[in-house]
Amino acid sequence: MFTGIVTDIGEIVSVDPGGKEGDRRFVIATKHDMTPIAIGASIACSGCCLTVIEKKDGRFAVEVSAESLDKTHLGDWTVGSRLNLELSLKLGDELGGHLVYGHVDGVGKIVSMMPEGGSVRFVFEAPTEVARFVAAKGSIAIDGTSLTVNEVDGNRFGVNVISHTQAVTTLGHARVGQRVNLEVDMLARYVARLLEHQKS
């Protein structure tokens, strides 16, 4: 489990076929000290909970299934791709963002980016099956970054990304049309399910 507070921007240093057909193995460079991180530990990589299968100083390897490559934008990763990293929570850690599971609900895209004061106003478009769970003033994880939704208009929603968040996440180098991994707030999902049961 994670909080959506990015702790490093990693970089893909190699991409190879995985152990099964269609899978892929990525080696990721990081500033995190890998010494205390166990093989089998989970690290959120641009919003996807991935398992460390190998590690050495300043880098770690993960294997991604064909299913995950298809359902996320991990299939777009190449050598040099930058990604948001967050280590899994430990008991007693501060919950600085919101509870994030690292299970991507769908892939959205950046529709527009406009400077607004000291921040940038992003508008994202979400798949229909994800958009129904996005609520104004609610939380959403975008490429693993916990953000607050400002407004919702159909399948589109806006967020303001402050300069600090731009500096410490990949959103600082985002571009219009870019695909992003989306994970909706689990609370919003449960509320929507309850409302659906009440109507039926």
Does the reported pTM lie above 0.95? Answer: no
d(CA 184, CA 31): 28
Residues in the chain: 200
The 3-state DSSP class for residue 17 equals: strand
Query: Does 3 map to a domain?
Result: no
Predicted confidence at residue 194, as pLDDT, reads 66
Mean per-residue pLDDT of the chain: 92
Residues 61 and 134 in one domain: no
Token pair for 125: 């478009």
Structural domain span for residue 25:
8-87
Model confidence band, residue 154 (pLDDT cutoffs 50, 70, 90): very high
Query: Does 122 map to a domain?
Result: yes
Per the DSSP assignment, residues forming a β-bridge with 98 are: none
Predicted confidence at residue 19, as pLDDT, reads 84
Predicted confidence at residue 18, as pLDDT, reads 86
By C-alpha distance, which of 114, 115, 168, 106 is closest to 142?
106
Q: Using alpha carbons only, how large is the chain's radius of gyration in Å?
A: 17
Model confidence band, residue 175 (pLDDT cutoffs 50, 70, 90): very high
Which alpha helices (DSSP H) does the chain contain, by range? 66-71, 128-131, 163-168, 186-199
d(CA 117, CA 108): 25
Calculated CA dihedral for residues 147, 74, 173, 155, nearest 10 degrees: -50
Phi/psi for 174 (5° steps) reads: -70, 160
Which CATH number belongs to the domain containing residue 137 in this structure?
2.40.30.20
Model confidence band, residue 77 (pLDDT cutoffs 50, 70, 90): very high
Predicted confidence at residue 98, as pLDDT, reads 81
Per the DSSP assignment, residues forming a β-bridge with 27 are: 14, 61
Per the DSSP assignment, residues forming a β-bridge with 113 are: 122
Residues 110 and 191 in one domain: yes
Residues 59 and 116 in one domain: no
**pLDDT tens track for 28-60:** 999 999 999 999 999 999 999 999 999 998 999
Query: Does 94 map to a domain?
Result: no
**pLDDT tens track for 110-152:** 999 999 988 999 999 999 999 999 999 999 999 999 999 999 9
- Looking at 44, 59, 87, which one is the last position of a domain? 87
Predicted confidence at residue 120, as pLDDT, reads 97
Residues 111 and 149 in one domain: yes
